[in-house]
Amino acid sequence: MNTRMRPLGSEFGSLWAALFAFTPFSAGLLDTSRAAGARVILREDFESDQPDAQPASADHYQIGYVSFVNPATEPGRIVVSGGTFADPFGPGNQSLVIHNPNSATQSRIAWTSIFGDDPTAFRNGVIEFDAWMEKPLPVLGAPGGKFWSFFEVRTGFGGPNRSEVTSVGDVTAWPNFRIQNIFGDPEPRDQIVDAGGRYSIGFEPTFTDGSDDLFGPDRSFHVAIEIDDGDGTPTTERYGIKINDEPITWSQTGESSNYWVPGSPGVNILAFYSDASAFFSGGASNAYIDNLVVTNNDLPPLGNGDYDGDLDVDGTDFLVWQRTFADSPPAGTGADGDGDGQIGAGDLAVWRESFGSTAARPTNSVVPEPTSALSMAFVLTAISAARRSRRVNWCAGAPFASKRPRRTTAASASVARSRKRSTRSGNRRRALVLSA
């Protein structure tokens, strides 16, 4: 995050403006431009997670190995990078690594609680992330040789105890991404396969990158899986995939979207899987996932005041704003509620407008406000804390707000004694005047 600071003086007047806008007599309407859109239900960059562990936001995880193929000491794993696995996106970055050295069973990691139990609540939305797939070694059968780099994205549905998408009667859309060595080809082949197509259209359509060069080994690319239920009938329920904002075209159908698996009610589980290729490949090279964002287009937004991402707007979102005041994050992230790339008074106003909400309010409703005393206390605290937070001392045990040290030199002691003598002399003169 870019934490370039700005002088607080330029914000002081704006903060007072936000204070007066915060009082009950100036209650306003929710900005319709913010109300338009959908609700982000997951935003995960893995930066706060422990390396070599699973991300805290995930609900289910299972490693896989087959004892006679590879020992339990080296199973497939899906963990956060930055420890055993160096992160390919950049120094200091953390992402999710899908590691399968030689396993005949699939490891998986799944998110369920972000959706709720009703799969019909997510029938329109976007699942997007950045990906990096290591190039598989080109010599098959040689020591360390790999068949491909591979990961699957499974979206599906299940009951309250769901923990995976088995792909048998519980899958909605099921693409997998491959960078695959082909015998006789000098370079691996980049492909996406719709594995759920066998259920929806009778075969698995593929996209072969070829001259499009939308993605490839050892480089970052962005994936967006767009889910759309059309008019709610099986012939209109479809999904499409974009790579770096470009829609792919399935080779066999010539179309840029495919059908959901028939009978799917929607989505209430998202899972990433490794491959299961040890019997014929010697395993897979690592794949990495970062900046995972899930947006539900069927839910209204929260008004952009949900700065901690817990799906409501309350005091903890104010604390996020307070702690990052004057920072310069990427526009629209963190506590940048007004999207100007700076944390300031405008973002406090956004939080104020949405305070207490668990969903966006209608655009013609008046937003309830806290009492004026509470409003005053909040903003005065913000101004004071923001001013203090600019003085940071980076040292052992830091950061902490620095304090001005007391002057202890002989000169400072002399100044103090002089001030005391002057004070006594002034007091005596005042006493004489009063007695006269």
Residue range 314-330: mean pLDDT, rounded:
89
Region 320-332: mean pLDDT is 84
User: Is pLDDT of 200 > 70?
Assistant: yes
Report the mean per-residue pLDDT for the chain.
75
R_g of the chain computed on alpha carbons: 29
Q: Which two tokens stand for residue 74?
A: 């080296």
Q: What pTM value is reported for the model?
A: 0.66
pLDDT of 34: 29
> Is 401 part of a structural domain of the chain?
no
Provide the domain count of the chain.
3
pLDDT per residue over 345-390, tens digit each? Answer: 988 988 988 887 664 333 333 333 444 445 545 555 555 555 554 4
Same domain, 167 and 141: yes
| 8: confidence class by pLDDT, cuts 50, 70, 90 | very low
Position 413 scores a pLDDT of 44
**Do 194 and 242 belong together in one domain?**
yes
Shared-domain flag, residues 277 and 320: no
Whole-number percent of the chain with pLDDT over 70: 65
For residues 249 and 371, membership in a common domain is answered with: no
137 and 175 co-located in one domain? yes
pLDDT at 99 over 60: yes
Question: Do 81 and 108 belong together in one domain?
Answer: yes
185 lies in a domain? yes
What pLDDT does residue 212 have?
Answer: 81
Whether 403 is covered by a domain: the verdict is no
Tell me what percent of the residues of the chain surpass a pLDDT of 90.
45
Beta-bridged to residue 179, according to DSSP, are 149, 190
Q: Would residue 195 count as lying in a domain? A: yes
pLDDT tens per residue across span 121-140: 999 999 999 999 998 876 55
Give the residue among 81, 40, 55 at the shortest CA–CA distance from 360.
40
Examine the domain organization and report whether 220 and 328 are in the same domain: no
Residues 224 and 327 grouped into a single domain: no
Highest mean pLDDT among 62-66, 206-210, 354-358: 206-210
pLDDT digits (tens, 9 = 90+) for 265-311: 999 999 999 987 655 556 788 999 999 999 999 987 665 788 887 77
In this predicted structure, the answer to whether residue 238 has a pLDDT above a threshold of 70 is yes
- Same domain? For 91 and 239 the reply is yes
What is residue 54's predicted lDDT score, i.e. its pLDDT?
95
Cβ 178 vs Cβ 191: under 8 Å: yes
Q: Is the pLDDT of residue 195 over 70?
A: yes
Q: For residue 244, what pLDDT band results from cuts at 50, 70 and 90?
A: very high
Calculate helix-pair angle for 372-389, 345-354, nearest 10 degrees.
150
In a domain, 402, yes or no: no
**Average pLDDT for residues 71-75, to the nearest whole number?**
61
The residue range of the domain holding 15 is 9-32+312-393
Separation in Å, CA 273 to CA 3, 64, 218, 399: 35, 10, 20, 40
* CA–CA gap between residue 33 and residue 404 (Å, rounded): 45
Provide the CATH number for the domain around residue 138.
Answer: 2.60.120.200
Question: For 390-432, what is each residue's pLDDT tens digit?
Answer: 443 333 333 333 333 333 344 444 444 444 444 444 544 444 4
Query: Domain check: are 185 and 159 in the same one?
Result: yes
AA identity, residue 289: I
**Rounded mean pLDDT, 222-241:** 95
Residue 18 located in a structural domain: yes
Residue 72: predicted pLDDT = 55
Q: What's the pLDDT band for 31 if we cut at 50, 70, 90?
A: very low
- Confidence at residue 398, expressed as pLDDT on a 0 to 100 scale: 33
Q: Is residue 306, in this structure, part of any structural domain at all?
A: no
Across 136-200, the runs of DSSP E, i.e. the strands, are 148-156, 171-173, 175-180, 189-194
In a domain, 26, yes or no: yes
237 and 334 share one domain: no
Write out the DSSP string of 413-435: HHHHHHHHHHHHHHHHHHHHHHH
Q: How far is CA 179 from the centre of its chain?
A: 26
Residue 207: pLDDT band by 50, 70, 90 thresholds? very high
Using alpha carbons, select from 326, 361, 233 the residue that is nearest to residue 5: 326
Where residue 73 falls among pLDDT bands split at 50, 70, 90?
Answer: low
The DSSP bridge pattern shows strands 269-273 and 246-247 to be unpaired
Q: What is the pLDDT of residue 421?
A: 47
Is residue 248 located within the same domain as residue 385?
no
